[in-house]
Structure 1
């Protein structure tokens, strides 16, 4: 079983936070208003300001909550995979679906830098402590982790399009299993043979040498 809900989630403060995440996700930070957030949360604008002080502070609280949730889900998912329980690992990810739109809008607006950096660090830990492969990687682990993180974060940005392509709402248990299965298949089947990868890598090295030569000749 996943950990019990945070007691804070039962409070007016949590209702305000969740309403704010909805408004920030749908309208962006600039267009979201304290009044609109208060109406959605079923409280007064004064209570919103009492708990958070300002829209900026409320947005920061939303960021911190998402970051804390991602950390917890990462720990639970890692523990489930170590136990060999992929169904449990899939179930631990489902609560994050509530925040897809908020995270997507933050990323598009150039925010969520702390979340992105934290997730890159998590990906690094996965590569060094869990992911198995043939031989040493040809690029720094940090580079691999950053690209995989960006790839993963594209899912919430394109969530509605992915759901349409799959023909099922990916926020449902069925959709989550479909998505996890597709990702597992991609990760477990190389898209290029070792020979094709070696040829492509050699081409990149030649291009890099040409670029260096051209740069020094100008």
Structure 2
């Protein structure tokens, strides 16, 4: 692993960034240590010296994103974001070089550490929001945080479709501003009122308590045997 030599740290960063580029363009399975080394301007041996394996290199890429996401979150929460009026622009600017990597990794089912970190941070935001809610949450906070994280990360995966739907390049300054306004509008004006939500939850509760289709379609004796299995 890297020692105290600043050149080692620089080489590690070059290798990591080259790996993110290759993983984004080719996918993890097709990317090679040799190709990553060539892009980073180092030998394959140096890649293995710093990271050991391709899997360890991917984990280092994820760790780098986790650190960046945590820093961005801390800046927004403390009010020290680069653009205090638009945290979306701040996040897009910082994540720009790694967007392709993250989108590909999410589609491939990896980047677990990144997803889990975002869920943890979202839980912290929800904890604050829950204290201001007029009604008690119906679902565990971690579940809500996981769903919210998946929805947020969909922007990275679907950015081309989203740009087309919005009529503007999502990652342009205009797109940053429009996305921020859309999110503010969506989150400040829920589609369901508290009363409508209560009615819908009650319907789900009734559905949960209703007999299954298998039970309803079976003769009485079979239904009784099914419940005693």
Tell me the TM-score normalised to structure 1 length. 0.84
Match of 2:3 in 1: none
Between 1:171-180 and 1:40-49, the stretch displaced more is 40-49
Asked if 1:23 is matched to 2:17, the reply is: no
Computing the radius of gyration over CA atoms, which structure comes out larger, 1 or 2?
A: 2
What SS is found at the alignment partner of 1:11?
Answer: helix
> Can you give the 5+ residue segments of structure 1 that lack an aligned partner in the other structure?
1-6
User: Structure 2: how far apart are the matches of 1:154 and 1:176?
Assistant: 15
* Structure 2 residue 57 is the aligned partner of structure 1 residue 58: yes
Residue of structure 2 equivalent to 1:4: none
> Superposed, which structure 2 residues align to 1:63-142 within 5 Å?
63-80=62-79, 85-87=84-86, 89-94=87-92, 95-130=94-129, 132-142=132-142
1:209 paired residue number? 209
Q: Which deviates more, 53-62 or 124-133?
A: 124-133
| Deviation readout 1:54-92 (Å, 9 max, x if unpaired) | 21221111111111111111111222289x9333x3343
Give structure 2 stretches of 5+ with no counterpart: 1-5, 217-222
RMSD of equivalent CA atoms? 2.7
**1:8-62, Cα deviation, whole Å (9 max, x unpaired):** 9x82321211111111122111101112212222333233223222212211111
Q: Secondary structure at the match of 2:136?
A: coil
Q: Matches of 1:68 and 1:211 in 2, distance apart?
A: 48
